[in-house]
Structure 1
């Protein structure tokens, strides 16, 4: 059966380049171990970390908009896309071009032709909305998740169940060509 693109990982990176939340999504819909193996968390941490240099290099020339587009393609299967929020929070989506079984022959063609930056816009907009909703929570203090301003050491990742659930939902429902999540 033909394969189609899916989200492999979503990273929310803080303004001090610290990971706030990383969600991994396994490839699905095949009996072939090449497609169904669990994703290695350390490997994806390193991939997300490698994007930070690209953000830093592009920020001086970026004048308008959040979309940083394709940050880099690691191979013919894995590509990383980025957005920068007004609060300097970085959103990174890692796409696996063969991450799930295609629902139709047209969807399978997308894996061969590649993605347009606009294919990920609904996912980035939904992530931005989820983060804004998190900021509206009176019990969430953004400075507690920044190593430069935190009053205590330790885990600085986002632990809000609602936010984590929404990020997981976005990663699971996205497919190329959708207009809204």
Structure 2
């Protein structure tokens, strides 16, 4: 089964660093408890990745990067717009940012698929390569 890269979370942060909107998208959003979900004996992997509180903390941690890039901007210009990659959370999750001229910040947490090594992509070293190593 092939996984498709997707947006895990979208956050809109106001001028005074207050969260205006946070959306967590499936399959990254935790399911709400139902009577059938309480009977499950194991939790699917995507449900254990991040909680809504963790996404909120990740969005809050990007505010320092916005402020640092604003301080390092040239002159007295208030450069706004696409800040690009803010930081990589781990090998699968990355934060991208955009700031408007009114100070509203948009943060997208982008989830990249994990690549599983396949037998076709894995190459064993040849004997000539092994002789060079010795």
Instruction: Give the TM-score band, short-chain normalised.
Output: 0.5 to 0.7
Asked if residue 53 in structure 1 is aligned to residue 52 in structure 2, the reply is no
Counterpart contact for 2:87–2:96, Cα < 8 Å:
yes
The secondary structure found in structure 2 opposite 1:59 is helix
Task: Output the CA distance in 1 between the equivalents of 2:87 and 2:49.
Answer: 22
Counterpart contact for 1:11–1:19, Cα < 8 Å:
yes
Task: Output the CA distance in 1 between the equivalents of 2:57 and 2:27.
Answer: 19
Counterpart contact for 1:24–1:39, Cα < 8 Å:
no
1:89 to 104, 113, 116: 104
How far apart are residue 79 of structure 1 and its match? 0.4
Aligned to 1:16: 16
Aligned to 1:35: 46
Q: Which TM-score applies when normalising by structure 2?
A: 0.64
Asked if residue 68 in structure 1 is aligned to residue 79 in structure 2, the reply is no
The secondary structure found in structure 2 opposite 1:4 is coil
How far apart are residue 3 of structure 1 and its match? 1.3
Task: Output the CA distance in 2 between the equivalents of 1:37 and 1:51.
Answer: 22
1:22-171 → structure 2 map (5 Å cutoff): 22-27=22-27, 33-35=44-46, 39-62=50-73, 64-98=79-113
Q: Going by fraction, where is helix more abundant, 1 or 2?
A: 1
Q: Which runs of 5+ in 1 are unaligned?
A: 100-181
Q: CA RMSD in A?
A: 2.3
Q: Which runs of 5+ in 2 are unaligned?
A: 29-42, 115-134
How far apart are residue 26 of structure 1 and its match? 2.0
Q: Which TM-score applies when normalising by structure 1?
A: 0.48
Task: Output the CA distance in 2 between the equivalents of 1:37 and 1:96.
Answer: 15
Counterpart contact for 1:25–1:39, Cα < 8 Å:
no
